[in-house]
Amino acid sequence: MPKTGMYVLQGVTPSQIAAAPFDVKVIDIYNDAGQTFTPAEVKQMGGGPGSALLLGYFSIGEAETYRDYFKTIPAAALGPENPQWKGNYEVAFWTPEWKAVATAYIDRMLAAGYDGVYFDVVDEYQTAWAKSHAPGGAAGAEQAMVDLIKYLGDYAEAKHPGFKVWVNNAEELLTHSGYLGTIDGMFKENLFYTDGGQKQPAAETSYSMGLLQKAIDAGKDVISIEYVTGAQKVADVHALDDKYGISSYVAHLDLNGVDTEGVRPGQVMHDDALGAVQPPVPAPPLTTPPVQPDPLPAQKMVSGDASDNRLKGTAGDDIIKGLGGHDKLTGLGGADTFVFQEYGRKNSDTITDFKHGTDHIGLDHAVFKLAQGELSPDAFWIGSKAHDANDRVIYNKTSGDLLYDPDGSGSAAPQVIANLGANMKIDYHDILSI
């Protein structure tokens, strides 16, 4: 089921945010009086485990005169004012000064207890001012936005593993190496309707969905924002959601308070960590014997691409596939399966939080030439190399490398699959051939 989401930048009332029936809640971190919400208010609204995913808002492409950081931005780093939003100025997001502002915002959100950050105005790199002022022109501006988001994602991950990164619009960036692995989800404004409530041309929707599908296929959540009203248009938005397998937030353009016109019958908030409806409903007792699970049970898929990715699971059970490149894989909670379809130094990954007895290493049987199912005990060895002809998967406790040896103690050298960290507890039960 696609995650539902909401987006409120004015009239943020903690009690209303807490009660709103949405899975992902984007809010301004300031109230209407210009004061940041306290950690207690953040927790009330959903910050922390056991509630919705609460994301703090940051405009990454525009500097806002009503923020306390504005006076730190050099005049030369400011562009023209946004004619639709008074007090919002294009900003040289490629500069150290702006990186410092964004980093400080992340620190503020981490300290307050938000579950993640929501970057707005990501598509600033597409403006004429950015293209003419960024080093490297249009291509340089685009790459600078990718680099900034990746930097901030890595910074937040280092300080608080599991901190989420969501973005708004700029679906073209999904084609950049590593960008997809940095973000956890995205909103897309005006996917089906314009700000004025007019239907988007089918070609526009098709173009955006062709790019957004990359995120969906990688296990990322996609939520559209539609500025429409009226039963007929809301019903059309819902029909299009169902067609594309996403959800939408139907809102007024001022994003003032929680809009509920587009809430579906029976819609409820789901837990950000476990996916359980709030309050949790106990499962009925089994009336038939349980079905024997497949070697790889049903889990949420998180997938990278051929470049170097940083992939994070959820607090639930995930399948995490780095694919090519040198990927950093983090399962977070739950019983996760880290899937590998290649090996060798050019494709070796790092798993940051492997849990013996809970997580699994999933090896593609067609690549690793292993019988499907749990690895045979004779095929696993702990040491720097194979000790007999049966050994295929080897864990080197000193280096932390998990190795594949195609011929055991034969002439072929063992190849790195991934690094789990030194002196980890692992045995053949943790390895699946899938």
Angle (deg, nearest 10), helices 137-159 and 96-112: 30
Q: Residues 125-168: pLDDT tens digits?
A: 999 999 999 999 999 999 999 999 999 999 999 999 899 999 99
Strand-pairing partners, residue 59, are: 120
The sign one gets for the Cα dihedral 355, 358, 364, 370 is positive
Residues with pLDDT less than 50, the chain: 274-298
How high is the pLDDT of residue 273?
56
User: Which pLDDT belongs to residue 414?
Assistant: 86
Cα–Cα dist 370/347, whole Å? 19
Q: Which domains does the chain have, with CATH numbers?
A: 5-250 (3.20.20.70), 300-433 (no CATH)
Instruction: Report the distance separating Cα 277 and Cα 353, nearest Å.
Output: 27
Closest CA to 185 of 55, 327, 45, 326: 55
The pLDDT, as a whole number, for residue 299 is 54
Alpha-carbon distance of 141 to 169, in angstroms, equals 16
- pLDDT value at residue 70: 95
* pLDDT at position 367: 85
Annotate the chain with three-state secondary structure: CCCCEEEECECCCHHHHHHCCCCEEEECCECCCCCECCHHHHHHHCCCCCCCEEEEEEECCEEECCCCCHHHCCHHHEEEECCCCCCEEEECCCCHHHHHHHHHHHHHHHHHCCCEEEEECHHHHHCHHHHHHCCCHHHHHHHHHHHHHHHHHHHHHHHCCCCEEEEECCHHHHHCCCHHHHCCEEEEECCCECCCCCECCHHHHHHHHHHHHHHHHCCCEEEEEECCCCHHHHHHHHHHHHHHCCEEEECCCCCECCCCCCCCCCCCCECCCCCCECCCCCCCCCCCCCCCCCCCCCCEEEECCCCCCEEECCCCCEEEECCCCCCEEECCCCCCEEEECCCCCCCCEEECCCCCCCCEEEECHHHHCCCCEECCHHHEEECCCCCCCCCCEEECCCCCEEEECCCCCCCCCCEEEEECCCCCCCCHHHEEEC
Cβ–Cβ < 8 Å for 35, 66: no
pLDDT of residue 142: 97
> How far from each other are the two terminal CA atoms of the chain, in whole angstroms?
26
Alpha carbons 178 and 306: distance in angstroms, whole number: 9
